[in-house]
Chains A and B, each alone.
Chain A
């Protein structure tokens, strides 16, 4: 139970960080491609200068028509490239590839930038998928919020479960506690072994949870690798890093400690001689 309560938010954390990575790949932030009018084979200095002045622009790169053709060839394979090469004219336009600075609520300002680009004389067309960007952002946000909700719910679950175990432990040692108080034990002295109990239960639960997380990821990798092969790409599912695992361990131990403090506050004060 304790292991599962810890494994679920840990798995979600792994999932969210992977999702953020995937969406981060596409937008590092967001990209805009501006296709220039045919015949413009040199970087249009006016346009580049204008882009330099835009706050939202992180990086801009001019790709000439010829360069574009080469990239296209490397993407689609030699046969298709040969086909393209057999055309009398290079069908690809020169392009300015723009990477935007990631910032909150950037979807709107990016849209404004795209419109401004469209109205510039050098630019024939602008490709910018605002809708996709918005959807991806919303999905990642949803996952992150779900993750926080799960963390809160299952975290309080850990506190309650450990608190209850500690309560049972206190009850089973009632006689000893009463006698200890009669011969001069302070509340802190009577409480100490139970705080350690909570700490160890939390840490033990974390180890179990991490083990479960590892097994789940192993199983997932098993299912994901055929997909990766089919698409010829690597999704690159990342496991839990060592520092993250340590945080899980520490966090869980702290929750166990907290559960024990609560249990002791409720139980030990009632356990007075007399």
Chain B
């Protein structure tokens, strides 16, 4: 579903991703972890053509992204839901209209839009808040609006960039459970996060990036072995403090986890 083949990407001469190859199967859910600046965001941006690789090939939904231009890029993004840490919600319109945006762009009828938006809001438990402006909602609620907007189009692929970044552990768990539910109905999911305590709770493969290199979790073949304790396969000291810390949020604040 998502395939990276020998992908390199550099910004101003500084390598962001180096020779990254992996395959995420259809319907699979995986985490993408690593330090800040390890290349997580770059990898996600390459997956939906916000950026283009310097070399190598990215394939999403059986489309080789290097072949896409203009309209092709727009249509690719209609088939990828994207959940951001910073929500990217528009505060000049209410929750309903925010969630409706992808459907309006794709040209759905008013009736279909109303039906699908309400279904998505119901799914994330915010149906009662459809008339509110996003900025009046709590952080967790805003994130759920973002998720509703990402899935309203029923995309086969969902990408999430630090979806729990600003939330406390309990809300983070709720958000991840919500994402898990979409995976349960067949959506392919790639979640970038450095919340290792959260990862440890879920039986999914982890792709671990360090300074632009994928050091673990590359192929789907090693997914079962690595699924529960991805840190071990990495043999990476970065992972150690976080794995033993039950409350990662506290860790983050003290800086002991080495995570920003």
Assess the B50–A180 pair: CB atoms within 8 A.
no
Assess the A273–B50 pair: CB atoms within 8 A.
yes
Assess the A183–B90 pair: CB atoms within 8 A.
no
A186 to chain B: closest residue by CB: B74
Query: Which of B100-108, B114-122, B216-224 makes up part of the contact surface?
Result: B100-108
Q: Does B92 contact A (CB under 8 A)?
A: yes
Cβ-defined partner of A180 (8 Å) among B51, B75, B101: B101
In the complex, what's the smallest C-beta–C-beta distance from B113 to chain A, in angstroms?
Answer: 13
Measured CA separation A184–B152 after assembly (Å): 13
Contact with B along A150-182 (1 / 0, CB 8 A): 000000000000000000000000011011111
Assess the A185–B50 pair: CB atoms within 8 A.
no
Assess the A176–B90 pair: CB atoms within 8 A.
yes
| Residues 120-174 of B contacting A (Cβ, < 8 Å) | 149, 153
A173 to chain B: closest residue by CB: B92
**Residue with the greatest number of chain B CB neighbours at <10 A, chosen from A176, A182, A183, A186:** A183
Which A residues touch B102, using CB under 8 A?
Answer: 183-184
Measured CA separation A176–B75 after assembly (Å): 18
In the complex, what's the smallest C-beta–C-beta distance from A177 to chain B, in angstroms?
Answer: 10
In the complex, what's the smallest C-beta–C-beta distance from A181 to chain B, in angstroms?
Answer: 8
Measured CA separation A13–B101 after assembly (Å): 47
Task: State whether A184 and B82 are in contact (beta carbons under 8 Å apart), knowing that A175-B90, A176-B92, A272-B50 are contacts in the complex.
Answer: no
Which A residues touch B106, using CB under 8 A?
Answer: 184
Assess the B45–A183 pair: CB atoms within 8 A.
no
Assess the B74–A185 pair: CB atoms within 8 A.
yes
Assess the B74–A274 pair: CB atoms within 8 A.
no
Which B residues touch A178, using CB under 8 A?
Answer: 88
In the complex, what's the smallest C-beta–C-beta distance from B45 to chain A, in angstroms?
Answer: 6
Chain B interface residue number, banded:
20 to 34
Which B residues touch A182, using CB under 8 A?
Answer: 48, 50, 77, 82, 88
Assess the A187–B70 pair: CB atoms within 8 A.
yes
Which A residues touch B78, using CB under 8 A?
Answer: 183-184
Measured CA separation A273–B74 after assembly (Å): 12
Assess the A274–B51 pair: CB atoms within 8 A.
yes
Which A residues touch B45, using CB under 8 A?
Answer: 274
Which B residues touch A175, using CB under 8 A?
Answer: 90
Cβ-defined partner of B70 (8 Å) among A176, A184, A186: A186
Assess the B88–A184 pair: CB atoms within 8 A.
no
Which A residues touch B153, using CB under 8 A?
Answer: 183-184
Q: Does B71 contact A (CB under 8 A)?
A: yes
Which B residues touch A274, using CB under 8 A?
Answer: 45, 50-51
Measured CA separation A46–B75 after assembly (Å): 85
| Residues 200-244 of A contacting B (Cβ, < 8 Å) | none
In the complex, what's the smallest C-beta–C-beta distance from B157 to chain A, in angstroms?
Answer: 13
In the complex, what's the smallest C-beta–C-beta distance from B76 to chain A, in angstroms?
Answer: 8
Measured CA separation A272–B52 after assembly (Å): 13
Assess the B88–A189 pair: CB atoms within 8 A.
no
A272 to chain B: closest residue by CB: B50
Task: State whether A183 and B149 are in contact (beta carbons under 8 Å apart), knowing that A175-B90, A274-B51 are contacts in the complex.
Answer: yes
Which A residues touch B92, using CB under 8 A?
Answer: 176
Contact with A along B192-207 (1 / 0, CB 8 A): 0000000000000000
In the complex, what's the smallest C-beta–C-beta distance from A174 to chain B, in angstroms?
Answer: 11
A176 to chain B: closest residue by CB: B90
B70 to chain A: closest residue by CB: A187
**Residue with the greatest number of chain B CB neighbours at <10 A, chosen from A180, A186, A187:** A186
Measured CA separation A187–B75 after assembly (Å): 11
In the complex, what's the smallest C-beta–C-beta distance from A189 to chain B, in angstroms?
Answer: 6
Measured CA separation A137–B258 after assembly (Å): 87
| Residues 22-76 of B contacting A (Cβ, < 8 Å) | 45, 48, 50-51, 70-71, 74-76
> A residues touching B (Cβ–Cβ < 8 Å)?
175-176, 178-187, 189, 272-274
> B residues touching A (Cβ–Cβ < 8 Å)?
45, 48, 50-51, 70-71, 74-78, 82, 88-90, 92, 101-102, 105-106, 149, 153
Q: 5 interchain pairs (CB within 8 A)?
A: A179-B90, A180-B101, A183-B102, A184-B74, A184-B75
- Report the 5 A-B pairs with minimum CB-CB distance, sorted nearest first: A184-B78, A183-B102, A184-B77, A186-B74, A274-B50
